[in-house]
């Protein structure tokens, strides 16, 4: 079966697995957990875990619970981040804290994290190492989110600091998704690290793409509310460069966006195009994706599915 | 050295260990994490982990990182619960969400949980089993807190349901503190389970004591704000019985407490004394502590420190 046909199959298996992970518990937890895990999402991270295992000669079944753990971990971060960022829409549906309240959302996230850990601890192979990778990734995600919030209150942020932040916030989790797959096969640590680095770069490109789409896409395509991120003064790959070039123009466009979102964002879009920042962002995404693929060069693994994965990410931006 | 002299020594080692667990990271995380972990607390749970290991023939050093993990896990639950319960004081100092904000507190809790997991994953022995115990305990605590919040909005809660809730919310964590100590020594699972059940009963007694002290102590002794719990309509061991006896009297006393706390709580205290509910609560605490000690009967372990631990808990209520 070709990879394009395989993906919907894997995705549906993942969705079935997720539907079933928390059948019994207090209704104020089981309901929002099911709501989140049945709420959609492209399941890119667990797909990557499975692809990476298969690339290294492993099987889907031996890495399946780890793949589910990765997706649940990812969704845990979304539930908590959405509270902090006051986002009201995620994957096209109301966020948990909006539909219920902050307390329910905090606890739903906490429970999801323990469910993710339980799934990972059930994994049949290399469990101690997998747990270490998972836990380090969890801390990295927290640190990335902390830096992201810190940046909101800073008038200027360097691109280097920004890249460090998104590596923690987005890159490490996609990196661990890839690494868990490789590690589950008992591959040499040198190879596992290369596969991890591939995933981290994919994550970096993914986040810059997110930044790009946040401004140039509309919220319907993104399945989440964009206004809040921009109005909160989130520092993104594009906004940092725009602020560096002309703080006054951008700050007044942001001010305008707070009252009249379409008009303010229109001004920002125009500025990013005219100054070449939009084009440079697209180029950067493509460069990082190439760097990611290069990490796989000369590895004694079957790269096909991973290279296909990079293409999925690339297509997402177009 | 006798046990009474040992405790301050162990406590100070625990405090030193906790002071050091997160030296580097974003300042918006390292600061509140240090604030929480240096903020006091009696370190009862890690003491129990060490005592339980020693009772089973193990050493402090082989279980020390697990003991720290238990204390960090406990503090993680406090940070998140305090947001949900809108508590402003904990261990005699401002709560994290009050001193910073909800976002910082959510993330601080999440980071602490990953630090706890990292500590546990560093434990030298039986790490897979210890991780399983820890993760199951984490989910239990979330479920207990969820039920506790559900009960706030229920007009009546049975004592049985209440006990089930506090076992999850408080008992499981103290149970796992004891169990991790036993498990770290490679003891038979039957013995480890008895030690765990001892801990769970200690936890049950501890929570009923908390309910008791919440009404009959003052907030200075408890080191936390009591008004919020009572005014939120928290169902406690004593309040459930009072509500069962006379809903109207208690509800009007609670109504009064919302405007004039001292007067309202005074009425509740008087009612609990006159109806014998206060005395029954004291008896129940002592009974449960006896049941806990009985769990240790006939176990081929050195029970002395565990029995001393029960006495510490018992004294706390007087």
pLDDT value of position B232 = 72
CA distances from residue A310 to A47, A61, A295, A305, B107 in whole angstroms, order as listed: 12, 23, 12, 9, 31
pLDDT value at residue B221:
57
Confidence (pLDDT) at A108: 98
pLDDT confidence band for B127 (50 / 70 / 90): confident
Does A225 score more than 70 pLDDT? no
Residue ranges of chain A whose CB lies within 8 Å of a chain B CB:
25-29, 80, 83-84, 102-104, 106-107, 109-111, 113-115, 117-118, 121, 127-128, 131-132, 135-136, 138-139, 142-143, 145-147, 149-150
Query: What is the predicted pLDDT for the residue at B318?
Result: 59
Any residues with CB less than 8 A from the CB of B172 and at least 6 apart, and which? B136, B137, B140, B141, B144, B200, B203
Helix (H) or strand (E) holding A90: strand A89-90
CB-based contact B145 A107, cutoff 8 Å: yes
Residue of B nearest to A121 (CA): B132
Q: What is the structure's pLDDT at A235?
A: 86
Chain A CB contacts of B132 below 8 Å: 121
Please write the tens of the pLDDT for every residue from A97-110.
999 999 999 999 99
The predicted pLDDT at position A229 comes to: 73
| CATH of the domain spanning A3-316 | 1.10.600.10
Q: What tens digit of pLDDT does each residue of A128-175 get?
A: 899 999 999 999 999 999 999 999 888 889 999 999 999 999 999 999
Domain boundaries, chain B: 3-316
CA B129 to chain centre: 22
Report, as an integer, the average pLDDT of A250-275. 92
At B200, list the tokens: 């769970």
> Out of B110, B121, B132, whose CB is closest to A80?
B110
The answer to pTM > 0.90 is yes
Task: Give me the pLDDT at residue B108, please.
Answer: 98
Single out the residue of B31, B47, B210 nearest to residue B107, CA to CA. Answer: B31
In the structure, what pLDDT confidence band is assigned to residue A214 with cuts at 50, 70 and 90? confident
- B33-87 pLDDT, tens digit per residue, is 999 999 988 999 999 999 999 999 999 999 999 999 999 999 999 999 999 988 8
Nearest CA to A126 out of A192, A41, A212 is that of: A192
């Amino acid at each position: 079966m070709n990879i394009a046909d395989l993906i919907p199959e894997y995705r549906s298996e993942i969705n079935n697995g997720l539907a079933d992970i928390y059948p019994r518990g207090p209704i104020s937890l089981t309901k929002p957990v099911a709501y989140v895990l049945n709420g959609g999402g492209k399941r890119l991270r667990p797909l990557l875990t499975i692809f990476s295992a298969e690339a290294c000669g492993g099987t889907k079944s031996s890495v399946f619970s780890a793949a589910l753990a990765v997706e649940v971990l990812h969704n845990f971060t979304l539930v908590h981040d959405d509270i902090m960022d006051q986002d009201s829409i995620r994957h096209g549906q109301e966020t948990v804290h909006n539909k219920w309240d902050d307390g329910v959302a905090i606890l739903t996230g906490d429970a999801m994290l323990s469910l993710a850990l339980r799934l990972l601890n059930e994994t049949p192979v290399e469990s101690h190492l997998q747990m270490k990778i998972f836990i380090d990734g969890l801390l990295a995600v927290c640190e990335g989110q902390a830096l992201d919030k810190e940046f909101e209150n800073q008038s200027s942020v360097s691109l280097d600091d920004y890249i460090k932040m998104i590596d923690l916030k987005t890159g490490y989790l996609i990196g661990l998704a890839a690494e868990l797959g490789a590690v589950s096969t008992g591959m040499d640590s040198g190879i596992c690290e290369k596969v991890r680095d591939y995933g981290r770069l994919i994550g970096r490109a993914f986040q810059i793409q997110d930044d790009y789409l946040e401004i140039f896409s509309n919220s319907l395509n993104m399945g989440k509310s964009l206004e809040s991120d921009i109005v909160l003064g989130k520092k993104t790959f594009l906004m940092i460069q725009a602020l560096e070039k002309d703080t006054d123009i951008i700050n007044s466009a942001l001010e305008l966006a707070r009252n009249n979102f379409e008009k303010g964002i229109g001004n920002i879009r125009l500025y990013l195009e005219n100054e070449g920042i939009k084009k440079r962002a697209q180029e950067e995404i493509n460069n990082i994706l190439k760097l990611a693929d290069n990490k796989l060069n000369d590895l004694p693994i079957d790269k096909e599915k991973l290279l296909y994965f990079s293409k999925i990410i690339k297509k997402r931006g177009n």
